[in-house]
Amino acid sequence: MQSVAESLERLGDLATSPTVARLAAAFADAGYELALVGGPVRDALLGRPVNDLDFTTNARPDDILKVVTPIADAHWDIGREFGTIGARIAGETVEITTYRADSYDGETRKPDVVFGDTLEGDLVRRDFTVNALALRVPETILVDPSSGVDDLISGTLRTPSTPAISFGDDPLRMLRAARFTSQLGFTVDDETREAMARLAERIEIVSAERIRDELSKLLLSAAPRAGIELLVETGLAQEVLPEIPALRLEIDEHHHHKDVYQHSLTVLDQAIGYERERHPGDEPDLVLRLAALLHDIGKPATRRLEPGGAVSFYHHDLVGAKLARKRLKALRFDNDTIDAVDRLIELHLRFFGYTDGAWTDSAVRRYVRDAGDQLERLHMLTRADVTTRNRRKADRLGFAYDDLEERIRHLQEKEELDAVRPDLDGEQVMGLLGLKPGREVGEALRFLLELRLDEGPLGEEEAARRLLAWWSAR
């Protein structure tokens, strides 16, 4: 956390920024309280970028609309039943919510919405003390009823009320604890951790979509490993992503293999490193991070203890791809993400055959063809999958992949490998063979594609000659 002077300066800058100052003046003129709340106050105190502007007020939704309408470029009331009005003011999107004093029935995480009368009452119902902070504007008064600033200084995640009550009201907060562990680098206090373990099964009342969103935010954080470890240690991962704790395979005294769970976390760390190295400043890559975390989840189902103390995991790539597809579908990920992660896991072992002997140009073309638009991610995942402590082995694999990437670049320059297609299209095939659209046209195109992969570009004349010969020999 930055110094006290720096924190006060940041809070002052936030309170006097154009959007905040304009809103504060409008609410004050109308006789209502207004305060920035939660994330923007926390991030200002930590010296982190402030992205979202969330406000709370004693004004009711209808009154909020009356205040913001004259000063907003646009406004919307999609969250009106929960007391939230959204608006665009001075080019920034803001959300303004009436003080809340909700109650929960214990059966769902949806509260009975009850509007409150005080800022302090609103803050104590929030998830963690570091988010139960508010900055009254225009007065620039920091409100901290739960000692959230002390927890910011110590890097502690703690609930304003008892964690049993907080997590019982909204079990999704347990996943948020893991996310904030990764996003902020904080540590969950013992009482909160114990409650997460005791109440882990309560997460079942949360929708798959909300769980997906929290897991995604965790994976997109700067250091997701810490949050994932917390989920596994408290038993929450068993409820939402059971394939990860299943990676903690038992190792007996006669059969030895690396710790698959720790290996997977290291692969995730290393994939993030490659991602930042190759695309500095870009947004985090969720597909790559999911693939890195899940790439070995087929190992528990394929583990075999072999004579002599060896352990095998034959076809864990194919089994893992199917398991990942099933889990991501259950979590309601979109089809593009599911397909990409499936493909990366299925192909993540392909490269290791490259070190057994020189690949032909045909094999390199097929590697590129099979990877498709996931080729660059496959490069990063495959490099990240090398976690051996044997420096000579790691160097050998690294040099081999350098060589493969160089060969791919060379072939791409030579023959536009990114778009490997047959030398003839479907119309030309039908014209040459006198066919109508159907199965036989597809077979002919597959024949031409295999030629293209094996031998490179043939040209239309040679491709036509070879096609006619193939057709007459059928």
- Do 115 and 164 belong to one domain? no
- Do 130 and 202 belong to one domain? no
- Do 218 and 132 belong to one domain? no
- Do 3 and 150 belong to one domain? yes
What the block records as the tokens of 332 is 């309601």
Which band of pLDDT confidence, cut at 50, 70 and 90, is reported for residue 378? very high
254 has pLDDT over 60? no
Residue range 387-399, pLDDT digits in tens: 888 888 888 888 8
Bridge partners (DSSP) listed for residue 305: 311
Residue range 207-225, pLDDT digits in tens: 999 999 999 999 999 999 9
Spatial distance between the Cα atoms of 217 and 19, rounded to a whole number of angstroms: 27
| DSSP H or E stretch at residue 286 | helix 286-294
pLDDT at 255: 45
Q: What is the mean pLDDT of residues 253-260?
A: 61
- Do 275 and 398 belong to one domain? yes
Q: What is the mean pLDDT of residues 139-167?
A: 94
pLDDT at 162: 92
pLDDT at 1: 63
Contacts of 234 (CB under 8 A, 6+ apart): 174, 193, 196, 197, 200
Q: How far from chain centre, in Å, is Cα 94?
A: 25
- Do 315 and 390 belong to one domain? yes
| Range among 187-191, 383-387, 398-402, 435-439 rated most confident | 187-191
CATH number at residue 43: 3.30.460.10
Which band of pLDDT confidence, cut at 50, 70 and 90, is reported for residue 253? very low
What the block records as the tokens of 300 is 């528990």
DSSP label at residue 250: -
Q: What is the mean pLDDT of residues 273-301?
A: 95
Residue range 77-102, pLDDT digits in tens: 878 888 899 999 988 999 999 998 76
- Do 189 and 305 belong to one domain? no
308 has pLDDT over 70? no
Spatial distance between the Cα atoms of 218 and 226, rounded to a whole number of angstroms: 10
Which band of pLDDT confidence, cut at 50, 70 and 90, is reported for residue 36? very high
Spatial distance between the Cα atoms of 98 and 83, rounded to a whole number of angstroms: 5
Mean pLDDT of the chain: 89
Q: What is the mean pLDDT of residues 445-470?
A: 86
Nearest Cα to 14, choosing from 134, 164, 126? 134
- Do 86 and 147 belong to one domain? yes
Q: Higher confidence at residue 74 or residue 2?
A: 74
Spatial distance between the Cα atoms of 410 and 146, rounded to a whole number of angstroms: 61
| DSSP H or E stretch at residue 98 | strand 92-98
Residue 446: give the domain boundaries.
426-473
Q: Higher confidence at residue 197 or residue 416?
A: 197
- Do 252 and 365 belong to one domain? yes
pLDDT at 120: 94
- Do 172 and 313 belong to one domain? no
Q: Among the three residues 383, 404, 419, which one is the final residue of a domain in this structure?
A: 419
Residue range 19-29, pLDDT digits in tens: 999 999 999 99
Q: How many structural domains is the chain composed of?
A: 4
Spatial distance between the Cα atoms of 85 and 207, rounded to a whole number of angstroms: 24
Q: What is the mean pLDDT of residues 351-356?
A: 74
Q: Among the three residues 241, 276, 298, which one is the final residue of a domain in this structure?
A: 241
What the block records as the tokens of 320 is 């893992």
Q: In terms of C-beta density within 10 A (0-12 exposed, 13-18 middle, 19 or more buried), how is residue 161 classed?
A: middle
CATH number at residue 162: 1.10.110.30
Say how many residues make up the chain: 474
pTM: 0.83
Contacts of 380 (CB under 8 A, 6+ apart): 271, 274, 275, 278, 288
228 has pLDDT over 70? yes
- Do 191 and 130 belong to one domain? no
Q: Among the three residues 130, 154, 178, which one is the final residue of a domain in this structure?
A: 154
- Do 364 and 438 belong to one domain? no
108 has pLDDT over 70? no
CATH number at residue 301: 1.10.3210
**Range of weakest confidence among 30-39, 64-73, 436-445:** 436-445
Task: List, as one string, the DSSP characters of 154-220.
Answer: HTEE--SS-HHHHHHH-THHHHHHHHHHHHH--EE-HHHHHHHHHTGGGGGGS-HHHHHHHHHHHHT
| Range among 289-298, 385-394, 447-456 rated most confident | 289-298
Q: What is the mean pLDDT of residues 48-55?
A: 91
Spatial distance between the Cα atoms of 344 and 292, rounded to a whole number of angstroms: 9
Q: Is the peptide bond before 138 cis (omega within 30 degrees of 0)?
A: yes
Q: What is the mean pLDDT of residues 159-179?
A: 94
Q: What angle do CA 190, 192, 194 make, to 5 degrees?
A: 70
| Range among 72-76, 363-367, 470-474 rated most confident | 72-76
What the block records as the tokens of 470 is 């193939």
pLDDT at 90: 86
